[in-house]
Amino acid sequence: MEWRDEYKLIQVNRELIVRSSSNAVDFALLKDGKLTELHKEEDSNDFAVGDILIAKVRKPVTGLNAAFVNVGYEKDAFLHYHDLGPQLASMLKFIKKVSTGKLKDYSLSNFQFEEDIDKNGSINDVIKANQSLLVQIVKEPISTKGPRISSELSIAGRYLVMVPFSDRVSVSQKIESKEEKDRLKRLVRSIKPKGFGVIIRTVAEGKKVAELDKDLQNLLNKWSVMCNKIQRAPHPSKVLVELTRASSILRDVFNDSFTGIHVDDETLFEQVKDYVHEIAPEKESIVKLYNSTVPIFEKFGIERQIKTSFGRTASMSKGAYLIIEHTEALHVIDVNSGNRSNKAKNQEDTALEVNLLAASEIARQLRLRDMGGIIVVDFIDMGKGEHRRRLFDHLRDEMKDDRAKHKILPPSKFGLIQITRQRVRPEMNIKTSEENPNGSGQEVEAPIVLIDKINADLEKLLKGPAKDNGIILNIHPFIAAYLTKGFPSIRSKWFLEHKRWIKIQPRDAYTYLEYRFKNKDGKTIY
């Protein structure tokens, strides 16, 4: 059995933890207890990806072959000619008729379609200043840029995506079976109304016509509600709101491997429960209301993971770590083996082991931080072509779960792997450094990470030459208390793991983050 097949046999548990506060909702996606995605939905976000707005064209710009559109943001949104959609003329005619009240039937079955626009044409030929236009947010405002929009509308459901003013039926490339693709196309063509195109999503694989039809009817209802709003909507304004982030995350990531959805707000709990009941009634019981005085993110160990995952350095097991740097043009990730102790016979095997470990952590970090644009990874050099191929395949496998569009290039001559990843919203950036308790005006990595450092150093010492000469940990009294309190204490866990009792000596003279390992003769060994 290949290593990849072995990996696939492992059962994965996924949990969604939802934390509500007065002005935002936080979503944490856990995979086997490890934080893989973190999202924040703020009340103030009027330009979420997927929202549809009725807007006014400010002015077309010939040189850019694009138009700037007033969507109500401080900076005008950018609409390129290629994002207009071929059926623009039909859509403009439809909006005009609906806004003036001449068209009451929104089904498009009797609507007279116009010719498609020339795909290599000029923006001035098809759009005029002050024209009303239906646009969809495809990229949220990032940094100094306004939102990126498209007038080729799509309304996403669980199994289908509906595209008004089109007749095309297409299937997700991730469905590999040709028979299944043909079956789904045949089913959708039999239920699809005239004037609407449909994209069949990956999760539709194996689904019956009744489920697909129900999803399509929901999308048509959304379309009718939206058209009703157009008639009296001021310009610019929102006419269709994308699902709440909770529902859209569930829509995109929910599958049979989900074992729990925990929500700490009653209203939100009811919303999530209703949505799960709609898409997967048999899984309704996994939605649980969290009632406890301990904050939900604390209970599930998320706060700690945030502290250890969002710094410049990201630690991995056995002393290896990543350095993540952000520049204006790209993100750079450096892989370091650290001073690890392992059983690998030679340098090449160590490099492969660290690189495979790093690839899994990098895939997690990209999703967690929602890093987009160009990412360059400097892996540890490997001499064997077979190892480089294995690393490349492993990285691709680890990134399969990533919902953002991405492309990975094979390792270059210098051992660098380049990744591009779609960026549709600002990167998740959490400050983890804190004021240094040992000196004023400085900052240090979150002190909670200190325990992880002590763990790594201890593991290394217990496998080194000092293991038989007694190990005594000298540390600040507060940290000493933290290591020895409770049942089981952290020290007890060390004993269970390493079969060695570590003596802890509080030292009043030590600063808060200072620690030393000594042997039984009192000599410092680390």
Give the sign of the dihedral formed by CA 77, CA 81, CA 86, CA 89.
positive
Give the per-residue pLDDT at 246.
Answer: 67
Residue 501 within a domain: yes
Residue that finishes a domain, picked among 302, 322, 349: 302
Residue that finishes a domain, picked among 186, 210, 240: 240
pLDDT beyond 50 at 6? no
Q: Is residue 170 helix, strand or coil?
A: strand
Residue that finishes a domain, picked among 215, 240, 265: 240
Residues 356 and 377 in one domain: yes
Residues 200 and 226 in one domain: yes
Residue 462 within a domain: yes
The pLDDT tens digits of the residues spanning 273-330 come to 888 887 778 888 889 999 988 899 988 989 888 887 887 888 887 778 899 998 888 8
Residues 201 and 254 in one domain: no
Distance of CA 422 to the CA centre of its chain: 11
pLDDT beyond 90 at 75? no
Residues 206 and 340 in one domain: no
Q: Mean pLDDT, the chain, as a whole number? A: 84
Residue 7 within a domain: no
Residues 267 and 286 in one domain: yes
Residue 185 within a domain: yes
Residue 426 within a domain: no
Domain at 334, CATH number: 3.40.630
Residue 430 within a domain: no
Q: What percent of the chain has pLDDT over 90?
A: 20
Helix, strand, coil tally for the chain in percent (to 5): 35, 25, 40
Give the per-residue pLDDT at 8.
Answer: 40
Residue 525 within a domain: no
Segment among 13-17, 117-121, 220-224, 309-313 with least mean pLDDT? 309-313
Residues 226 and 78 in one domain: yes
Domain at 261, CATH number: 3.30.420.60
Counting every residue written for the chain, the total comes to 526
More confident residue, 393 or 21: 393
The pLDDT tens digits of the residues spanning 134-192 come to 899 888 887 777 888 999 999 988 889 999 988 889 998 888 889 999 999 999 999 98
Tell me, letter by letter, the H, E, C secondary structure of 224-287: HHHHHHHHHCCCCEEEECCCCHHHHHHHHHCCCCEEEEEECCHHHHHHHHHHHHHHCHHHHHHE
Domain that holds residue 183: 52-240
Give the per-residue pLDDT at 11.
Answer: 55
Residue 435 within a domain: no
Residues 335 and 268 in one domain: no
Give the per-residue pLDDT at 3.
Answer: 42
Residues 376 and 451 in one domain: no
Residues 178 and 269 in one domain: no
DSSP 115-157: PPPPTT--HHHH--TT-EEEEEEEE--BTTB--EEESS--EE-
Residues 194 and 90 in one domain: yes
The pLDDT tens digits of the residues spanning 128-143 come to 888 888 899 888 887 7
Residues 233 and 258 in one domain: no
Q: Is the peptide bond before 164 cis (omega within 30 degrees of 0)?
A: no
Burial of 209 (0-12, 13-18, 19+ CB in 10 A): middle
Structural domains in the chain (count)? 4
Residues 182 and 202 in one domain: yes
